[in-house]
């Protein structure tokens, strides 16, 4: 079992013929992902990268049986692309686009709420189940198959965590880059819960950052469910000046509980193995697995 995507996932690319969609679709295909086509309004009936192009997601789903979509659509149209995919019956939507207006995301999240769809992102690197499917923009070569799950707000730190895990002699079950915007489809707690419930994931790396309460909510869930699996945690932004937004639109401290120090304290109190630097993730995970008696 894997989380969200696997070798059987049939993927379409919204914004298929644009420069970003073209480049990353090619990378996903080279990785071995089953990309079955793409959507660019007005170009239906043509072929791109030797795959069919459709005018609508509904047509793409009908013709290809796609159940996963990745979105490379400009910010002004991305929320509509999310809603179109959900309406067409796509089960996993990965939105890479950054800069989507907050009011648009409020509408999109409300629209998909009762539609049995999982949205990852926006402003995220995507999802990868190593050796099976890469639905995103991450460098696939960094990820080796294994039994450690990764949940991260940061794209770059997702890759760093994967590299640290692999260098420690371990591997990745599924890595989920949830995105760094104020409103995202799948917050930290929900992503952690997916991996907690995955029988092929033995432990989890949880990477957060200053701003918001996602990490606190996830930590509370981990504590209340009895620390089922070891979790190694890291919070980015420990040296950020007070009140300064750092990189992501969601990374702005709104109160005392939003700081890196406060989040790390909550995580430690919840039984999470907190590290001060991403460079410590691999060693901390090895130690956490040993303490739990897990041979991963």
Measured distance CA(90)–CA(96) in Å, rounded: 16
Other CB atoms closer than 10 Å to residue 225's CB: what's the count?
12
Measured distance CA(281)–CA(167) in Å, rounded: 10
Measured distance CA(249)–CA(108) in Å, rounded: 18
Asked if residue 62 has a cis previous peptide bond (ω within 30° of 0), the answer is: no
Q: What 3-state class would DSSP assign to 233?
A: strand
Per DSSP, the residues of 238-278 read TTPPTT---SSTT----SGGGSHHHHHHHHHHTT-EE-SSG
**Residue whose C-alpha is closest to residue 175's, from 141, 229, 138:** 138
Place of tokens 């994967």: 162
Which member of 24, 48, 110, 248 is catalytic?
Answer: 248
Measured distance CA(141)–CA(127) in Å, rounded: 14
Contact criterion met (CB below 8 Å) for 249 and 123 = yes
Mutual angle of helices 281-292 and 155-167, in 10-degree steps: 60
Measured distance CA(264)–CA(262) in Å, rounded: 5
Active site residue 248: yes
Measured distance CA(70)–CA(92) in Å, rounded: 9
Contacts of 247 (CB under 8 A, 6+ apart): 154, 180, 209
Q: Which residues are catalytic?
A: 248
């Amino acid at each position: 079992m894997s989380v969200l995507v696997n070798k059987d996932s049939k993927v379409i690319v919204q914004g298929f013929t644009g420069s970003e969609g073209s480049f990353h679709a090619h990378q996903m295909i080279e990785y071995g992902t089953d990309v079955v086509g793409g959507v660019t309004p007005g170009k239906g009936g043509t072929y791109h990268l030797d795959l069919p192009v459709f005018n609508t997601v509904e047509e793409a789903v009908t013709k290809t049986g796609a159940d996963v979509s990745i979105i490379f659509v400009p910010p002004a149209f991305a929320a509509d692309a999310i809603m179109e995919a959900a309406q067409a019956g796509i089960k996993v939507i990965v939105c890479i686009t950054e800069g989507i207006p907050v009011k648009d995301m409020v509408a999109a999240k409300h629209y998909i709420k009762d539609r049995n769809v999982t949205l990852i992102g926006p402003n995220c690197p995507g999802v990868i189940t190593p050796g099976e499917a890469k639905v995103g923009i991450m460098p696939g070569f960094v990820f080796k198959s294994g039994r450690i799950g990764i949940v991260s707000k940061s794209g770059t730190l997702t890759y760093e965590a994967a590299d640290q895990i692999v260098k420690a002699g371990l591997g990745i079950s599924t890595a989920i880059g949830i995105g760094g915007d104020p409103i995202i489809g799948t917050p930290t707690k929900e992503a952690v819960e997916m991996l907690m419930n995955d029988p092929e994931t033995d432990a989890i790396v949880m990477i957060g950052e200053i701003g918001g309460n996602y990490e606190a909510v996830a930590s509370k869930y981990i504590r209340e469910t009895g620390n089922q699996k070891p979790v190694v945690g890291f919070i980015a932004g420990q040296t950020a000046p007070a009140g300064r937004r750092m990189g992501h639109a969601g990374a702005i401290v709104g109160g005392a509980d939003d700081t890196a120090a406060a989040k790390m304290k909550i995580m430690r109190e919840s039984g999470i193995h907190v590290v001060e630097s991403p460079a410590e993730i691999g060693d901390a995970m090895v130690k956490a697995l040993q303490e739990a008696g897990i041979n991963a």
